[in-house]
Structure 1
């Protein structure tokens, strides 16, 4: 049987004494109940989280949702025409406790995963939009919506539907409301958080970072927002920094110098949302390195978010692998660097003096070779993993 289809049923009763008696045919409609928040009047109330981590979410579904009876379209402002797509909308609402909040739709699954959202201001009385002329204050295809210039105490309605003209969606999702947290203490370079012992693995929240010092530029590095800042003292080894963002476009830039007068060391920006970025560079003992984690733009003040920061260092030492019989030759090298050990040489990596990985060889043998034939003359660093231990040393290419 199909959903929402009218069927005719023949109802018959069999009696022992009178035989078969036919009853009247009744029309029975197979009704599938829509979600309880199918219309604005029954919008699901969302809990406002104290930050953007979405500790409390509410679940939603488009299964059997119908077009709202009170809003046929909801167009207005810069919103594109979606009249033919809003045939399965559901509603949520929240009361603003700050002038800025974030809507985040996550864990989307089902037949349609491309969702669209409208945000309406219901005022202090919490009135639903009544006609198609009620203009949403925000329209969004992305699943993270940063709401600004809100009125504390007003009720805001969120209308979510599939960005498709198809019917019969089986989509489920979670939605949460976040609040901007306190501006990070390391929002300014002068208050850069000093990273001491390594390795360093911590989750940070940069959602309330400001662009207080303006856009950061340094020759050789991409232009960036003034995000959150960290600093580390070089130990003479190869320092690796990775940052894994939660649904925002993150970039890393490494500088030397002083706040406001930077020299570029390295940067990383894949230009996509949610992509892990990483840099590796050869540090100078005693030099201070500044790390800026921010939205990558010199013209647009974009939004930052939460991220995992990991920093490691491989000092120039081969003591651990020397204990396993490791040796290498020649140095300086002309074409091929040869290595051997008493245990398997599992991996060899070659880095430039700026810490960029040039090549990697997976060997898994007691002997290994690394070809430098096509490389220009200069200084390079080699990191070798022998029997599970790592050593880093410097070589000179003729």
Structure 2
């Protein structure tokens, strides 16, 4: 993807101090990219021999495939956005980093909230029902819509008026209610109630289709996510790996993209619903050599390791135990995909048997300081 490095995105919410989530809003896109590259180079300076590939750039705006909106206001006039300093709702339905498909769904969603008389949750008084609206858009333009509620009080009215919402938003593929009875600063609870549509949102990425369940993790930038998966495939092909372990595999993005005839891939993920989704995708694609299991990646033992491993941990990184396991393994290749270059650098230092040979930055989050970085690690011949 080509991007205009001189492009400057302007946002009225940011300019008026209403929302400052996009900390680099108003800066030229090229300057944002340079700052991220400098940050990553500084953190990974201990490996000067590694080849830095050209960064994968993003659209500077309208790139975000998820809208995680706090609900405020009243049932007659709900807001979807964030909370201000007094813990009251600020409406951000015209947020420019959201895809057009997400933005166009927000006003009909607000109308449905009013029609079904769902009282927004008021944080200061701890009264009301609707806490969050969570929207995800697939690459094909279909939507998953989740209403995070304090209780089941509004479910009857929601089901009664659901046909009007489906008529206003025919692209809705999945509609659910999530229950979060506790008063705490999290987005969702553990119980999901199906209201309409399929069990999963199909996320088509080229020839691969990932199935996202309501609580599934998927990267916020669809095009950059696809770039991550394709880069991993290229590196696995170059390494000639035929047995690959995919740790923190989620719904199977990496595993499905690196699949090839004669190549065995096994993914491990702690979330049982994510593993179920990954298995569904593999079955639909006829990939009998791509398998998945529920398990804790940090509990891996060296005997389980094949000739190549992909790791995609959360922000906290791999941790000492898994680094020691990988360090002691005989795997020839490790691909480390990281959303936190600070913990990435720490983990790389804990695995001196491996040399970073190639590094690439992926700009998953324009208008912020955040980015993804992927490193190709090769086992030293003297290790």
TM-score of the aligned structures, taking structure 1 as reference length: 0.25
- Bigger Cα Rg: 1
RCO (CA 8 Å, sep 6+): is it higher in 1 or 2? 2
TM-score of the aligned structures, taking structure 2 as reference length: 0.26
